[in-house]
Amino acid sequence: MRKVLLSLSLTAISSITLFAQQDAQFTQNMFNKLATNPGSAGHNGGICATVLTRQQWTGFEGNPQTHLFSADARFSKHGVGLTVFQDKLGIEKSLVAKLAYAYHLQLGPGELGIGIEAGMLSKSFGDNFIAIDDPNLDPSIPNAGTSAATFDFGAGLYYSIANKMYVGISTLHIPQSSVEDAAAGNSAGVGALSFEQARHYYIMAGYDWDINNNKKWILKPSILTKTDAASTQLDVNVLVEYNMKVWGGVTYRIEDAIGIIVGANIGDFINFPGLKLGVAYDLTTSSLGDHSSGSFELMLKYCTSIHKQPKREVYRSVRFL
């Protein structure tokens, strides 16, 4: 597994050129696999729900703000999932809602999830565009609020071994749909909203190393590579979990940020098993760091089994009173 992780990392690094990605990003991506790979739907074997909220580049006017909810469940060999997230950047707002389905089958020592997803992508622009020159002179700049929506589709493969190792590959926005809407009062019909969704590709991998084979200290390295074929971004994550209760670690996003992650299975402390809380802070290493106070992210995740414990029944024979 270490060779697999190293190979994937070197492959990703060899083609790194960093630009802004169209899809929203999260530092705690290891807790949010469903959003980028439908093949992972139901991989936990029960029901899981995740809430993530991110304030990126705080202190920077019009900074990205992202909120996500995802949930998935497992029924026999079938996994289903739902992801909804909203992303705001300046006058631009994006809303994505998609359903995922995965079929899980045994393959060697592990399990392979073959997944697809379908849903809706909506884009909207406000009319409060800030510019040095008069924005009304450019017909491509919105002079009124505008919005439009389109169909979206993706697919992915996700392979895991006993929740100790995983590798996934996926592609999202396969149709590469365009979202367009005409500018109000523009007789030429020039679009105030013209957005072309690029196809995205993701590679993820991770491994849980029980250092002393007693589940006291577990080292959890992972990577997430994302590309739209024009630019590529790589996240390298390392978490250390203690006694299956608390964890901490770092994320390095190439030429962009260094993130600090801390979290806990808070359900163990409040008698609510399965509840996790995570917090991340990104220190921006790019030139944007001179204009912001970093990025903050909050994660809440809950997982539970859907298999109820069998009710114990006692049979008494009339022969023995």
| Domain presence at residue 26 | yes
Domain of 136, in residue numbers: 2-180+194-304
Indicate which CATH number applies to the domain containing 46.
Answer: 2.40.160.40
Q: d(Cα 261, Cα 309) in Å, to the nearest integer?
A: 35
| Domain presence at residue 314 | no
| Domain presence at residue 318 | no
Residue by residue, DSSP assigns 199-230 as: PEEEEEEEE-EETTSSSSEEEEEEEEEEE-SS
Q: d(Cα 52, Cα 42) in Å, to the nearest integer?
A: 19
| Domain presence at residue 233 | yes
| Domain presence at residue 185 | no
- pTM above threshold 0.85: no
Q: d(Cα 155, Cα 177) in Å, to the nearest integer?
A: 16
pLDDT of residue 20: 41
| Domain presence at residue 90 | yes
Q: d(Cα 170, Cα 156) in Å, to the nearest integer?
A: 4
pLDDT of residue 7: 43
Number of domains the chain contains: 1
| Domain presence at residue 96 | yes
| Domain presence at residue 319 | no
Mean pLDDT, contiguous 10-residue spans, the chain (321 residues) = 41 36 83 95 93 85 87 95 91 91 95 96 77 66 74 96 92 87 54 76 96 92 91 93 95 90 93 94 80 87 77 56 52
Closest CA to 5 of 224, 206, 236: 206
257 burial (CB, 10 Å; 0-12 / 13-18 / 19+) is buried
pLDDT of residue 249: 97
